[in-house]
A and B are shown apart, each in its own frame.
Chain A
């Protein structure tokens, strides 16, 4: 079996599916208060769909305000997850995790809309999720958003460009001083680690419990 030093940071379609199911299962078992991710087994492009996420304003300094379902997450998360918005309007976001055969990594697709269903425009999204700004050049910043059709649903969605993913996945696993993990372990934890990095860009956090759980 290939050892982890030669690993290029990518995964096969099959490992993606295994990792996605493992991720969804862990999420469900450790965050029973929150709706689970669901695996959508559409032929040719299956994907992992998020539970409904509110990306509205809940200020960092007032964790006590528990008005939306998302704020419950703050109990389990080490720091505040939600982004301040000036609009006093509820904004929702759907996330889908789809496999890219070109780059051989997961790709995050997202779609944001108001409570009346109106889709949010890119600059509105960027205001909510400042780490997603597309104004930086692609060469210097791996996380940028492009508007693209969802590969199966075919509607316009936004996608976090995956071309830097394999690089940072390599770094995640090999850059630490926790010793060199076995490749098998790396592949099982792939999606969890990927999400812990990418999720931050869109303001989603993984509860500490999930990160610490190595079962």
Chain B
């Protein structure tokens, strides 16, 4: 027992101490001195957020910045980085072949307000984090009790219970349509349109068999498991797609579909995409776990401080 706890503490330690070496370049439009300043080299915590690094970065560049008000944002090869996504998740998602150090660019002007929601520094990050924490607490605990005012022992109790069997998950799915041999050959993510974001709790069904990462992925992305047996009871969870069978003329008088399992089966048959669609990569905290891994291990060891499991997936879809 002690060994198990020790192992868990080790895993948590690795997660919390995980860091990404960053090489941060000032965007050329904001360089006012010759020679241009060298990039800032910073070890960024995986579980942290880019705006929190600003106190380390700004002094490095302040002597070369043009005068005016700073509106700080980051970008990787032209793609503005969403500041409320943990640094490690951004790295896992956008760097298919991990780049060390990770070369990103910082801007102090020209905030792309049509793409990024505003960030006023540390307070915005704090607010976003607390909202996520509350959302996770709601998923695990089932109500909106004020998490922040709970006593410490109550908080511990909260996080260690998975009462409803619901696990907070944020899934980031990068879709590609090309074949490739090496990750390096893949074209860059040049737009957030290529990444779909699914914020949906995973429901763990404790039905004797161990609930694995494979089962979890099947529940979120069933369309990529088309070759599997569809009579699996775990697929019986009815989703939006199932309701498409209901004719649109007189919805209000339709009875609820009695045999949900049957409906799910029929619909999966109808809408399964070809078997050339597949999941290419799953990354959590920089790790690529095997699909057979028990999902509970991931939940116990790889959560972010906001108590969400952030999962990055790369899928190949037919053109």
Interface residues of A (CB under 8 A from B): 12-15, 17-18, 21-22, 25-26, 41, 43-46, 99, 101-103, 119, 139, 146-149, 151-152, 154-156, 163-164, 184, 188, 215
Contacts and interface: CB of A to CB of B under 8 A. Distances in A.
Nearest to B203: A101
A163 B117 contact: no
Tell me which of A14, A46, A149 has the highest count of chain B C-beta atoms within 10 A of its own C-beta: A14
Interface in B181-210: 192-193, 196-201
Given A155-B114, A215-B252, A43 B241 contact: yes
B240 A156 contact: no
Interface stretch (B228-236, B243-251, B292-300): B243-251
A25 B252 CA distance: 9
A18 B254 contact: yes
B281 to A, nearest CB: 19
Nearest to A163: B144
B216 to A, nearest CB: 14
B289 interface: no
Interface stretch (B31-39, B70-78, B131-139): B131-139
A41 B241 CA distance: 9
Contacts of A147: 117-118
B246 A18 contact: yes
Contacts of B146: 139
Nearest to B251: A21
Contacts of A18: 243, 246, 251, 254, 256
B163 interface: no
A151 B199 contact: yes
A12 B240 CA distance: 9
17 contacts: A18-B256, A21-B246, A21-B251, A25-B248, A26-B252, A41-B240, A46-B240, A99-B240, A101-B200, A102-B135, A103-B138, A149-B117, A151-B197, A154-B115, A154-B193, A163-B138, A184-B256
Contacts of B198: 44-45
B272 interface: no
Given A43-B241, A151-B197, A163-B144, A21 B113 contact: no
B242 A14 contact: yes
Nearest to B202: A101
Nearest to A13: B240
B9 interface: no
Interface residues of B, number: 37
A188 B200 contact: no
Contact of A14 (B116, B192, B197, B240): B240
- Classify the interface of chain A: helix, strand, loop or mixed: mixed
A101 B171 CA distance: 13
A95 B156 CA distance: 39
B178 interface: no
B97 interface: no
A113 B201 CA distance: 33
Contact of A101 (B193, B199, B241, B244): B199
A41 B243 CA distance: 11
B238 A12 contact: yes
Given A43-B241, A151-B197, A21 B138 contact: no
Given A147-B118, A148-B117, A155-B115, A22 B251 contact: yes
A25 B144 contact: no
Contacts of A17: 240, 243
B239 interface: yes
A49 B241 CA distance: 18
A13 B239 contact: yes
Tell me which of B135, B201, B246, B256 has the highest count of chain A C-beta atoms within 10 A of its own C-beta: B256
A173 to B, nearest CB: 17
A155 B197 CA distance: 13
Contact of A146 (B113, B131, B197, B201): B131
A164 B144 contact: yes
Contacts of A184: 256
